[in-house]
Structure formats: structure tokens, C-alpha cells
Chain A
């Protein structure tokens, strides 16, 4: 495993020029994620449109992997439905953990740039920090909407 497998150009670009970074002041939801292992912190700000993420921003500081990962996350889930997001999270997490036999490049698109993480087990937590948080958020949103009888 070469170091360049981990630090791909796309990731460096997202680290240097993060997308959707900065607070969303009219956010419906603000969640914090913390990696107790390294102290990295990420905040996700979300605006809902029913069962869809209308807008998502992040605030945080940390290593290349955690910051590029959350920047890519925001680009990838904006405008998507809860079901679509759950599917991406599952696929992405499996790729990071090295559980995918074949990576679906159509589905994961730019997120494939993080596939090298699977070869660096100490960095898996960095890559999944924001994604694990979003997973809980999506589950809670679904439960909330189901409670109101809007979906399902």
C-alpha cells in the first residue's frame, strides 16, 4: 500500500477547498460528531424538505481524511431522499471497511477516492466520522416522519 493510494488528489482538493463548509444559520438540525480517538470534530447542519435533504453544510477541523470525507458527503447527499442516502451510506461504509468485492463506481462516483482508506485500518474512523453521524440522523428523521404518518 502506497501513501498515494490514501492521499488522492481529489481528497487533497476537498481538504484545501472544502465544499459546503460553514454554518447554515437557518438549519433545521445541528448535530455534532466527535472522534474520541484523535479529537477531530465535525458539525453537520441540515435543512429538510420532507423526506429529503434540501441543504447540508459542515463545520469542523481535522485530518485530510475526515475533512475531505465530510466535504464529499455534503456534495453527495444534498437533494437526495432518506432512502437514497441510506443506500449510499451503506455502500460507502462497506467500501471503507474493505467489505466490498467490487466497488460500484456509478453509485459512489467521487467517493471512490476514499477507497484507499480500507488499506489503512487506523484511519477508518476518520473517514466514517461524519457518515456514522448522518446515518443516525437519517434513522431519526425517518422515525419522526413515520410518526407523523408522512411516509411509509
Chain B
């Protein structure tokens, strides 16, 4: 009996953890934009507030009690994150502002050091701008080349032969997303990393859209580098993680220079602090780190497997329901086992932006636009799509509500168009 209870999610109880749903102005808010950012539970908000109210001090510096307490809380959060992704050690967890800063750190600290002229950086056609532009800039700095692994626009899956065709003796790095924010595609990163490693190619995984929704084990995947943002995992904004294997971090140059990241500073030369602090110049986002630690506790307490199972049900239901609406085109894989928690679609003759405004009148928040993935939109041949994306607190009833509103929007606009 206890096992059965553990396996199912009590969504009503979970929603009570999120004060935004109780805020009077948000009366009956259906929040379906979790791929952009999630809401934060009271447990996270209180932990952040507790740091500021009860033991606010700078980390790694003071010789007084609160400084020690702040340092311990911040480093404890790092340990929690290391366990969440099964890193070998918390030395492999670098706190950054988010996935974007993490990829920029990799491009500067690893790329500037190890990418040589005429080397190739391979990325996929379904990347977020944050996993495109840092590499565009790197290849310009290093006179290297950027190559794209195509996806099939019919099903949103990477071309199965793409890796074999695209990998060459010049390929230095493969950077790809675990789950596409624009298509929802779950990429088989474990197999891909295995194939890349057979050619001695380093792999960076953008896990921004997978970490909040499924168990991710960096050792099992054998990812060389992996990045994600805290605010998509029920944590605060402005904090994220750059994971890399210790030997890679040791070989990399730091990219932020200043206080805390140094060991010894002379007039003209300096040496670097140990991992992970070598990469964390300046006073860090202490409250952010502590808040993210609390968010990790929160999802662990529910269980990532359970969250994942719940969201898979939502995705399956949404894919079925959306496909049943005449005039709707759904993008990405139709198999819920291959589809993460974001579902992109268009409604015939109604621009996604108009649809989003219309749904907002019904207190349903969805995303419309290019999802920071303009190459994906170009490939799909649309300027924009609408996207719904789920979190732990979403329900089947909310999808029903959304579908009814979508039908009404269709009717409203078809009067005119």
C-alpha cells in the first residue's frame, strides 16, 4: 500500500507548495510555460529568505560563525547537486548564472585552449541559441569550423546517420541538447556520447530541459561536460551549473578572474585556487546556490522517477488531445517515450502570438515565438510556434482546460480569417 502511494503523485498537495497559485491576482492560473521557467515552492523561497535573515555573510572569507554557516550552506548545496547528477565529486560542480554562462565558460575555458585552426565543432540543428552562438564566436576566434547535425523535420529526430557522416578526424567537440526546448525531442545522448568517445571526441550536453524532468546520471551518460539552469528546476534565477569531469576542469583555464578564484597573487603573475573555486571569481550567488540546493531537496523528496512518470502522462495526453484538434500541427516526436515535457504546435491560420494573447485572457500561460531556436523554425518553415510545457504541478484537467480554450480561440479567429 505504501509503495502504491509513493508511486503516484498527489498533485493537489504539491500545488499547495507553490504560493503563486494562491496569489489572488493569479486566480486559477494554468501555467504551461515551464520550459521557460518553473515556479518556486515555499521550501525554496524560505531557504533563500532564511539565509538573508538569519546568517547572511560572505562565503570562504570570514572567520566568524555566520561566515562559516553561509559557506557550509553554499557548499552543502553543491554536494546536493553533485548527488543529483551523480558526479564523482562536488569539485566537478561549478556554480554559474545559468546554462548560457556554463556554455560560454566551456567555449572560453576549454575551447580557446584546445580548439585549433581547422578543427570542427559539431552541434545539432535543434540547439537553443545559447548552444549555437558561443560556438560561432569560438570558431571565429580560433579559425575553426562549425558543423551542424541535421534533424528530420517530419518527426523532430536527429538524422540517424548524421553522426557517422558528420564526425571527421577534425571534430574536436560535439555539443548537443539532451531534450530540445523547441521540438521536445529526447536525444539518445548516452549512445551518441559512446559513439563520439570511440573517436576521442569531447561531448558537452545541454541538460537545461532534461534535468528538471528525468533522472540524469553524468557517469552513466559518460558526459564530459553538462550544463543546466536552476530556475527551470524550481530553483531561483541567476544560478546554474557547469559540470565537467575533473580532468577537463583541471586542464581548462578559468574565465572569470578576481577574488576567491586565486591561490596566490603576485605583482605580475597569479596561481589558481583548487576546484571548483578556480572557476568562481568574485562573491558568488550565495542565496541562489542555497536556493538551488533546496530545490534539489524538493524534487528528491517527491522523487525524480515519479515526477518523470507524471509528466510523461501529461505529455502523452497533450499529444493525443492536440492531434485531435482540426487545424493543429504538432512538431517533434509523437511517441511520448521520445518526447520531453515541451510540446510545440501551430494552429492553422492563427499566429502563435495571437493565440497566446487569447489564452492569456483565460489565464492560461503558454509560450509563443521562436523559442530562442531560430534555425529550428527555419527548418520547420514557420516563423514561430506555440508551446506548452509541463512541470510537477500540472494536471490532466489543466490540459483539458487548455484544449477547450484552444478550440474557442480557433472559433473566435475563424470568424474573421
Contact = CB atoms under 8 A, between A and B. Distances in A.
Contact of A62 (B351, B361, B416): B351
Nearest to B362: A3
Contacts of A9: 416
A89 interface: no
15 contacts: A2-B361, A3-B412, A7-B354, A16-B417, A37-B369, A38-B353, A38-B369, A38-B383, A39-B369, A40-B384, A62-B353, A64-B354, A120-B357, A122-B357, A123-B353
B164 to A, nearest CB: 33
Nearest to B356: A122
A7 B354 CA distance: 9
A64 B351 contact: yes
Most buried by B among A6, A63, A64, A65: A63
B358 A3 contact: yes
Q: What is the size category of the interface that chain A forms with chain B?
A: 20 to 34
A137 B354 CA distance: 28
A110 B353 CA distance: 23
Interface string B401-417: 00000000000100011
A40 B383 contact: yes
Contacts of B370: 38-39
A15 B357 contact: no
Nearest to A126: B353
What are the 6 tightest A-B residue pairs by CB atom distance, in nearest-first order?
A12-B416, A63-B351, A63-B353, A39-B370, A38-B369, A39-B383
A39 B416 contact: no
Nearest to B417: A16
Contacts of B360: 122
Given A3-B412, A12-B417, A62-B383, A39 B358 contact: no
Given A7-B412, A62-B351, 14 more contacts: A3-B361, A3-B412, A7-B416, A15-B417, A37-B369, A38-B384, A39-B369, A39-B370, A39-B377, A41-B383, A63-B351, A65-B354, A123-B353, A126-B353
B417 A39 contact: no
A127 to B, nearest CB: 11
B405 to A, nearest CB: 11
B108 to A, nearest CB: 24
A12 B417 CA distance: 7
Contact of B374 (A13, A15, A39, A61): A39
Interface string A123-146: 100100000000000000000000
A16 B416 contact: yes
Nearest to B373: A39
Interface string A46-87: 000000000000000111110000000000000000000000
Interface string B47-77: 0000000000000000000000000000000
Contacts of B354: 7, 63-65
A41 B382 CA distance: 12
Interface in B326-369: 351-354, 357-358, 360-361, 368-369
Contacts of A65: 353-354
Interface string A10-40: 0011011000000000000000000001111
Interface in A93-115: none
